[in-house]
């Protein structure tokens, strides 16, 4: 695990930054964080996801594993309550609904809503600020040791569905992903990185 050296002053400066970063003027803490994240080439984790929806009387729970390989491979394998795999490789999105049917291959570019969600996690893990900025206005709170990234969607299509995505992490590991939808529903994913 390559945790780059963190300078206190930089973290402080980043914490003070409130305005959304313009492309030309990326706050040093964000650059620092992204560089640290980019340094990590693979990661594996378990996740527990809970989805809170107005139409349901209790949250939907699912769990499984996440695997990331730099720069753009991401696999989300849901193990319970039902096997389902979603894997992304570049622009290729493969949805394997498990025992219910065969895998389907889609182009990520043709599914802007899903692309936005995938990019939020993948772009963060890859430390790809430009990729993130394509879909979101990115705001950083905290600094490389303990940080919160607030992603506000730019695209109209996605803005209709999603208010914001918040990623909370320590060093190069994402610990929580929270998706707030426009109708008040929200999804919370807790991630436990496996030690290597």
Partner 1 sequence: MSRLAVLLLWGAGLAACALVIARMTVSTDMSAFLPRSPAPGQQILVEQLRSGIVSRLVLVALDGAPTPALTGVSKRLAGALAGAPELELVSNGEAAGLDGDRAYFWRNRYLLSPAVQPGHFDAPALRAALERDLDLLRSSAGALVKRSLPNDPTGEILALLDRLAGGARPAQQDGVWVSRDGSRALLLVQTRAAGFDLDGQQAALARIEAGFAAARDADPAARAARLVVTGPPVFAVRSRQQMQPEISDLSLLASGGVAALLLLAYGTWRILPLAFLPVVSGALAGTAAVALAFGFVHGITLGFGVTLIGEAVDYAIYLTRQTPPGEPTRATLPRLWPTLRLGVLTSVVGFAAMLFSSFTGFAQLGLFTIAGLVVAVAVTRWVLPVLHARGLAAGPITRAGDRAAGLIGAVGRLRWPLALATLAALIVFATHGGPLWEDDLASLSPVPRADQQLDQALRREIGAPDVRHLVIVAAPDAEAALARSEALGARLAALATPAGGALLAGIETPDQYLPSRATQRARQAAIPETAALQAALETATAGLPFRPDLFRPFVEDLAAARGQPLLDRASLAGTAVGQKLDSLLFARPDGWVALIALRGVADPDALGRVVADWRDPGVTLVDLKRESDQLLLLYRGEAVQLSAFGALAVLLLLALFLRPPARVVRVALPLAGAVVITATIQLVAAGRLSIFTLFGLLLVVAVGSNYALFFAGLRPGDPATGRTVASLVVANLCTVIGFGVLAVSTIPVLHGIGTTVAIGALLSLVLAAAWAPPRGAAA
CA quadruple 54, 55, 59, 63: dihedral sign: negative
Q: Which stretch binds partner 1 (CB under 8 A): 2-10, 16-24, 101-109, 122-130?
A: 101-109
CA–CA distance from 60 to each of 16, 82, 90, 186 (Å)?
37, 12, 29, 11
Cα 108 from Cα 86, distance rounded (Å): 12
| Residue span binding partner 1 (CB under 8 A) among the ranges 25-33, 39-47, 110-118, 164-172 | 110-118
Residue 109 C-beta: closest distance to partner 1, Å: 3
Task: Mention every residue, 6+ apart, whose C-beta is less than 8 A from residue 59.
Answer: 50, 51, 52, 53
Residues 53-82 that bind partner 1 (CB under 8 A): 53-58, 60, 62, 76, 78, 82
Quickly tell me which residue has 């964000």 as its tokens: 30
Q: Looking at 51, 77, 137, 170, which residue binds partner 1 (CB under 8 A)?
A: 51
Token representation of residue 108 = 């990520």
- Using the rule CB under 8 A, is 33 a contact of partner 1? no
Could you list the residues that contact partner 1 (CB under 8 A)?
A: 49, 51, 53-58, 60, 62, 76, 78, 82, 84, 86, 91, 95, 97, 100, 106-107, 109-114, 117-118, 155-157, 161-162, 181, 185, 187
């Amino acid at each position: 695990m390559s945790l780059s050296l963190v300078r206190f002053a930089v973290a402080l400066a980043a914490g003070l930054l409130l305005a959304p970063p313009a492309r030309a003027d990326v706050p040093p803490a964000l650059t620092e964080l992204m560089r640290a994240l980019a340094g990590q080439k693979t990661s594996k984790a378990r996740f527990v996801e809970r989805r809170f929806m107005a139409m349901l009387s209790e949250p939907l729970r699912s769990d499984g594993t996440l695997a990331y390989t730099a720069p753009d491979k991401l696999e989300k394998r849901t193990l319970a309550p039902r096997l389902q795999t979603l894997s992304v490789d570049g622009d290729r999105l493969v949805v394997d609904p498990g025992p219910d049917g065969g895998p389907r291959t889609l182009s990520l570019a043709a599914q802007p809503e899903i692309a936005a969600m995938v990019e939020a996690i993948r772009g963060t893990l890859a430390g790809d600020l430009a990729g993130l900025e394509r879909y979101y206005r990115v705001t950083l709170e905290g600094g490389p040791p303990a940080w919160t990234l607030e992603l506000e969607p730019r695209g109209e299509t996605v803005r209709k569905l999603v208010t914001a995505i918040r990623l909370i992490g320590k060093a190069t590991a994402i610990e929580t992903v929270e998706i707030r939808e426009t109708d008040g529903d929200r999804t919370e994913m807790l991630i436990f990185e496996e030690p290597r």
